[in-house]
Amino acid sequence: MKFRILLFQALQPRCYTLLLLLLLASPVWAQFSTVTSQTQFVCNAANTQQGVQAFADGTGGSYVLWIDKRNGSNTGAGTGIYTQHLNAAGVPLLTANGLRLFQSQGRDIFGMQAIPWNGGMLVAWVQGAFGVGGDTVRCQYYNTGGVAQWAQPTLIAARVLPGIIYESEQGLNIIPTSTGATITHALALNGGSARFTFNQINTAGVRTYPNNDRQVQVLPPSGFALDYYHTVADRADGFYLVASSGGLGAEIYAQHFSAAGVATWASYTIVSGGGPSGRGSDWQLLTDPANNLYVAWTSNGGDPLVSKVLPSGTLGWAAPGYVNLCTFASRQTNPHALWHNNALWMIWEDTRVGTGNFDYGCYAQKIDAAGTLAWTPDGVPVYALSAGAPRPKIAPSDNGSVMAFYTTDTNGANFRAQKLLPTGSVAFAAPGVILHSVADNRPYELDYVPVGQPNGSIQVYWSSPGAAPTGRDICTGRMQNSGTLLSAERAAETLGFAVYPNPATSELKLRLRHETQPIGLRLFDAQGRLVRTFTEASRLSVRGLPTGLYTLRATVAGQEVSRRVVVE
């Protein structure tokens, strides 16, 4: 017996190394799918998951959050908020099907927002009961592991009967400040009108103002503007507010609030110039480095429009104060916009290629700070075939370009991507690269978030329409800047990116078949944590690292690559 123990102890390091080598030889974690017909689920728990929020983690991965009804909504344990952290390869680093952050105890959650904040994430939500609507607005600060940092969620607002009949998720937003954050939303008053409101917290979660103290009446009481409040951060701890009653021909108003929560303009600026405003849900609010406000929307007549407002509150462009991004005589709707590479980019659904008012392609336009269109006044085609509801969105990619995403084909089965270059031309062959092709698991309407990464690849997180027995699920995929779904490991093989010796004791060496040198060399441990960054490809020291399994990541010829290595 003693001999057996001694023999095991002698063989133990070799057995450990052998085990790690076996792990290297076979996939042990889920990763971003390289096959369009295979769905990678972030969460496929029972019942509905929706309201996706996502943002980059700074190391090539993402945090994703969602509203989850697996344990009930207005009954039982109530609606929850869950999160998952995926690394650059799509490997989930938290509990399978997500880590629960909060549960509403027999109540529903109507809306949720999340942002990166103080090295973790700040989450705000509106909760309430059936037939009542939202009765409270709360927020909580979590670290990167999903652990709450305050003893209890901070109560931002609560309804007070009979005057305030419910708090609304409309206009819900989190605006980070140097001392904490401002949380905006709306409320409904007894009698059928609505007001905009906000509150502030410091980094300890302490609320600044009394309950519902900061009420703002933008429109006359007869205008029920609950669905049409939008906010965006300025660059000085304040924010811009844009509001409208949302009716045909209704004007769109803008106001600026300082860090102290005070309106700074003597009167509201009309950004629509008296022109026909579109649906409030269509609006996109953006700011540029000079702190100018841009409001992008589509009119009820079907034109994509953009207004510019200076920090002083005056319109930045000549009358009527907005620019039409597409003069083609067709209907445009459901725009999505971002400020990227010193210009505002906007994509929209367009009926010019379809057979009816609800049969769309996708077109785009770019406009600079001077109000000059970059491309043809008709806009440029991104997807020039017809589809029922493409619901396009864009995200920043590499070399000044953007990546567009949209749903196409019968039953919206194919979720596609197209790269739009600064010249207005497209990088991939029409009608775009398929990211995902399972109809039941495609993105549901606009409930998806594309997350741009530094290497130009885009990770996309979405809520699917869902099929029995799980219902709506949270899914993900990654589109490389080259228009492929290659995994980082497969890309390494294709580009001849090899690492030796493996196992290693002191340093790693690279073997390259590609003439381009690797950049962004980083080493991650088995938990996905960054443990070492290398500035020179010829000096990859692993001295001092604990024995174990690691992943070396880099970018070669614009393609993310990785190799798993053993340190012993």
Rounded Cα distance, 199 and 208, in Å? 7
Rounded Cα distance, 64 and 451, in Å? 10
Tokens at 149, concatenated: 């940092």
Amino acid found at 104: S
Rounded Cα distance, 15 and 144, in Å? 34
How many domains does the chain fold into?
1
Backbone φ and ψ for 48, nearest 5 degrees, come out as -90, 135
Tokens at 512, concatenated: 């390259």
109 located within any domain:
no
pLDDT tens digits, the chain, 568 residues: what are they?
333 333 334 434 444 444 444 334 433 345 788 788 889 999 999 999 999 999 999 988 999 999 999 998 887 899 999 999 998 888 899 999 999 999 998 899 999 999 999 999 999 999 998 778 899 999 999 999 999 999 999 999 999 999 999 999 989 999 999 999 999 999 988 877 788 999 999 999 999 999 999 999 886 555 444 558 899 999 999 999 998 876 666 788 899 999 999 999 999 999 886 555 665 557 899 999 999 999 998 887 788 999 999 999 999 999 889 999 999 988 888 999 999 999 999 999 999 987 766 689 999 999 999 999 999 999 999 999 988 889 999 999 999 999 999 999 877 789 999 999 999 999 999 999 999 999 889 999 999 999 999 889 999 999 999 876 678 999 999 999 989 886 666 667 766 788 999 999 999 999 887 566 888 899 988 877 889 999 888 889 999 999 999 989 887 766 677 888 999 9
Rounded Cα distance, 55 and 48, in Å? 22
Residue 538 structural domain: 489-567
Rounded Cα distance, 241 and 124, in Å? 18
Find the helix or strand (DSSP H, E) in which 335 lies.
strand 332-340
Which residues lie below 8 Å from residue 535, measured CB to CB, with a gap of 6+? 521
Instruction: Judge contact between 195 and 166, C-beta under 8 A.
Output: no
Helix (H, G, I), strand (E, B) or coil at 95: coil
CATH number of the domain enclosing 561: 2.60.40
pTM of the model: 0.82
Backbone φ and ψ for 183, nearest 5 degrees, come out as -115, 120
Helix (H, G, I), strand (E, B) or coil at 215: strand
539 located within any domain:
yes
Rounded Cα distance, 565 and 568, in Å? 10
94 located within any domain:
no
526 located within any domain:
yes
205 located within any domain:
no
Task: Residue 539: count other Cβ atoms within 10 Å of its Cβ.
Answer: 11
516 located within any domain:
yes
Instruction: Give CA angle at 508 (505, 513), nearest 5°.
Output: 150
Residue carrying the six token digits 């950004």:
271
- CA separation (Å) from 499 to 192, 232, 537? 67, 46, 11
One-character DSSP codes across 110-139: EEEEEEEETTEEEEEEEEEETTTEEEEEEE
Amino acid found at 331: R
Find the helix or strand (DSSP H, E) in which 117 lies.
strand 108-117
CA atoms within 13 A on the CB side of 38: 9
Rounded Cα distance, 488 and 243, in Å? 45
Nearest residue to 306 via CA among 226, 403, 379: 379
Tokens at 506, concatenated: 């002191």
502 located within any domain:
yes
Query: Could you tell me how far CA 424 lies from the centroid of its own chain?
Result: 24
Longest dimension (CA), the chain: 93
Helix (H, G, I), strand (E, B) or coil at 471: strand
Helix (H, G, I), strand (E, B) or coil at 430: coil
- CA separation (Å) from 451 to 56, 443, 462? 6, 15, 11
404 located within any domain:
no
